[in-house]
Amino acid sequence: MSRKLTMISSAVALLCGSAAGAADFSEMFSFRGFGTLGVAHSSEENADFRGGLFQPEGAGYTHEWDMRPDSRIAGQISAKFNDKLSAVVQAVSQYQHDGTFKPQIEWANIKYQVTPEIEVRVGRIALPNFMISESRFVGYANPEVRPPQELYFVASITSNDGIDSSYSFSAGNVTNTVRAFYGSSEIDMPTGSIEADDTWGLNYTAQFGAATMRAGYVDMTLQIDVPSSDPLFAGLNGLGSMLSGFGYTAEGSAALALANKYRLEDMNVSFLSVGASYDPGAWFVNAEGLQFGGDGFLTDARAAYVTTGYRVRSFTPYVSLATLKADIPFEPGIPTAGLPDAFAGGAAGLNAGLNTTLSKFNASQSTIAAGLRWDFHRSAALKVQYEQVDLGNDSAGRMANTQPGFVPGSKFDVISIAIDFIL
C-alpha cells in the first residue's frame, strides 16, 4: 500500500473512530458487495486474451478456458457521519499483474457536501475517463460481460489519488453536472510500472429523461518503467555518442534524437472522450468515442463502440461493435548510408528493434460481439457472449504473451460465460 493511500485510510479511520460515539454503527455504516464468476475461451492458440491490460496471461495459449480474465469479488464500506460528511472504501480482488488475486484498494475517499449542489472529495477516487468509470468493475450494472476493450483499454488507469469537486444544477428538464479533478496514480505491470503525475481533467454530464450525454478531457504526465526497453535506449544513446565521436555527427545526432523522442519519462498524454446512452426501459443503446494523443511510443489513437439491446422479460439479447485505430508510423531510424559496416550493422539492428517496439504499441483491432443476458435472480445475472476480434494490420491488438507462431493482423473468436452478482 502506498504512503499516500495509508494516510488516506488513516484519515478515514480517524473520522470513523471520532464519529462512532456520536451515532449508532448500524446507522452510520453500510456494506455492499459485488462480483463476477466468469470463464473465457479464445481460439487464438499463440497468444492470450485477457480481461485487463495489466494481466500477464489469459485464455488461448496459456489455458484453453480461463476463469482469471473476468472473475472478481469486491466489497465497499460507506460511512455517513452527518448530512455533509461521508466516506467510502472499496476493495477489489481480481487477477493482477503479479499473477495473484491480492485485493487492491480501488477507492478510499472522504466527501464533503458543501451545498446541495457542490461536493468535494479527497483521497483515492475513480478516475472519470468514461461513462461507466465508477461501475466498470460491477458487471451486474453493465450489459456486456466486460466493457469494450477497444475503448476501455486505452485509458486503463482506473483510480486517482487527489481531489475532485462537482457542481450540479438544473436547467429546465436537464440535470447538469460539471466535475474537475487533480491527482496522481501508480500502477504495477507484469514487466514494469506506470506512474501518472499531474493528472487533471474536466467532465460534463447532462441527463434528461431516459437520455444521458457526457464529455470529458484528461491530461497527465507518464513515467513508464519497462526494463525490457533499457537495452534499446542504451544502444541508441551509446551509438549516438560513438558516431558523433568518430565524426558522423548527423547520424549520431539522429540516434540521440530518437532516444529522446521515444523516451519513457515525462510523456504527455491527453484524451478527449464523449458518450451517450438512451434507455427508455424496453431497449437501450450506449455509445462512446475517444481521441487519444501521446508522446513517443504512445502515439495518436481513436476508439469508439456502440452497444444496443432489447429486454424481453428477464432476457436481454445485445450486440456491440467496437474499433480502435492506432497511428503507429514506420520509423526510418538512423541513416545508414555512408557508415562503415560495423556502425551500419549496429544502426540497422537498432532501427529494427525500434520498429519492433513500435509495433507492440500498435493495438489496432475491431470486435463484433453478440450476447444474451438472463436476469435469473433479482441480484444476479447470467451472460453468454461471443466475439470475433479482427486485429489491425501488423497489430497484436490487446493480446498478451504472444508466441513465435502468433500472426499479427489475424482474426480469432472469444466465447465468454459469466455470472454477475451484487450483495
- Which one of 2.40.160.10, 3.40.605.10, 1.20.1260.10, 3.30.465.10 gives the CATH number of domain 3-226+264-328+364-422? 2.40.160.10
In this structure, what C-alpha cell is assigned to residue 194? 506506470
Residue 3's pLDDT is 53
In this structure, what C-alpha cell is assigned to residue 5? 493511500
Over its length of 423 residues, how does the chain's per-residue pLDDT go in tens digits? 455 555 455 545 555 555 444 456 667 899 999 999 999 999 999 999 999 989 999 999 999 999 999 999 999 999 999 999 999 999 999 999 999 999 999 999 999 999 999 999 999 999 999 999 999 999 999 999 999 999 999 888 899 999 999 999 999 999 999 999 999 999 988 888 899 999 999 999 999 999 999 999 999 999 988 888 889 989 999 999 999 999 889 989 999 999 998 888 888 999 999 999 999 999 999 999 999 988 887 878 999 999 999 999 999 999 999 999 988 778 888 999 888 988 989 999 999 988 888 877 778 999 999 999 999 999 999 999 999 999 988 888 999 999 999 999 999 999 999 999 999
Residue 235's pLDDT is 92
Residue 299's pLDDT is 76
Return d(Cα 220, Cα 264) in angstroms, integer: 14
Written as one letter, the residue type at 311 is R
pTM greater than 0.85: yes
Handedness of CA 391, 395, 400, 406 (dihedral sign): positive
The residues spanned by each domain of the chain are 3-226+264-328+364-422
Handedness of CA 213, 381, 101, 76 (dihedral sign): positive
Residue 16's pLDDT is 53
Cβ–Cβ < 8 Å for 39, 417 = yes
Cβ–Cβ < 8 Å for 175, 117 = no
Residue 183's pLDDT is 96
Placement of cell 544502426 in the chain: 347
